[in-house]
Structure 1
């Protein structure tokens, strides 16, 4: 980087500002929607994997407790439904990344796909609120 140069008005020199913007990936170039969508889908996929792992752990805990748990059937059903929807969202995200957003003929399909994905994610969140409310207690060892 160049030396910081402050002008009388308190602004940085344009050269330095441009270098900082470029190094941070900030520029005045038009937004590449395909690149943006891929980043967004990757972030959603990472969150989906984290929730998938949490639900798998909850399923293991419920199965470990056995049918004596008063909410056993409800929890198994909700966790299984959440896991299935998460797999579906993962598949939908793969298709979203695969298609080129810059192709206007695919905009309607991608919009529908994105709306379905968002709806599924909302349902997953609601299901997981109920899973948390019903409570997955881990068995106490030695009690």
Structure 2
């Protein structure tokens, strides 16, 4: 599939594309692990027919089923979460990223979130609280 952006976030084909790529990834990993559809469906707690629909990328498949299948295979859910963040914020997500390994991008995102939280905590610890100043003025 050529490198192109996902359509506008309001376009229903965005989620359909994410589900299609997710289904392919789930199927590929299940086959790689030499797990039958019947065994895997039983492990996840869904019917074999529904697993076929998920692996085929049926737009009517539920995202929570994609999450459950990914977790059962030991896959990260970055291929679902990262594009959804882009959609939520009205940003264009490069379709080509859905096909590759997102582990480095996931690590960058996690590191950025952790750093943001550390920076916020540091600012809070280093900034004198207004309440402390008010308490000092009351004691005088």
Q: TM-score, normalized by length of structure 2?
A: 0.30
Give the greater-gyration-radius structure (CA).
1
* Structure with higher RCO (Cα < 8 A, 6+ apart): 2
